[in-house]
Amino acid sequence: MTSHDVTLERTDGPNRTIEVTDDETVLEAAGRAGVRLPYDCRKGTCITCVGRLIEIEGADTDVDADADGAARTADPADAFTYRRSPAALTDRERADGYVLLCIAQPRVDCRLEVGPRVRSEVGDSPWA
């Protein structure tokens, strides 16, 4: 069975690296490891569990800058598969690195920002 190391980083700490097997989501692995993450629907239809991809471990460190000059994140399409469509995220949000952790399964070792700050960046669920 394949597994990947996913580091969950909070703005105010603590950070924690968990092992996620290829048959589970980040949220499921976090629960197994005793790490509490917010969630609600577990179907990708709300924004409660959102995280933001910071880095794909071992990937080329070249990053693009957006219009504001801020570094863009790694492409989440390279890092995750979804059990189902992440309906609560727009294409733009997905391109900006946001990931729904309740349905996301990592394909690489990576770092994710989690917590209320990430949730506030995305806003409310389009279905709320």
Q: What pLDDT, in 10s, does the model give residues 13-52? A: 889 999 999 999 999 999 999 999 999 999 999 999 999 9
**H or E element: which one contains 85?**
none
Q: In 10 A of CB 8, how many CB atoms?
A: 22
Q: Please write the tens of the pLDDT for every residue from 52-71.
A: 999 998 775 444 445 555 55
Backbone φ, ψ for residue 99 (5° rounding): -135, 135
Instruction: Give the C-alpha separation, 98 to 31, whole Å.
Output: 20
Q: Which domains does the chain have, with CATH numbers?
A: 3-59+72-113 (3.10.20.30)
109-122 pLDDT, tens digit per residue, is 999 999 999 999 99
pLDDT at 76: 75
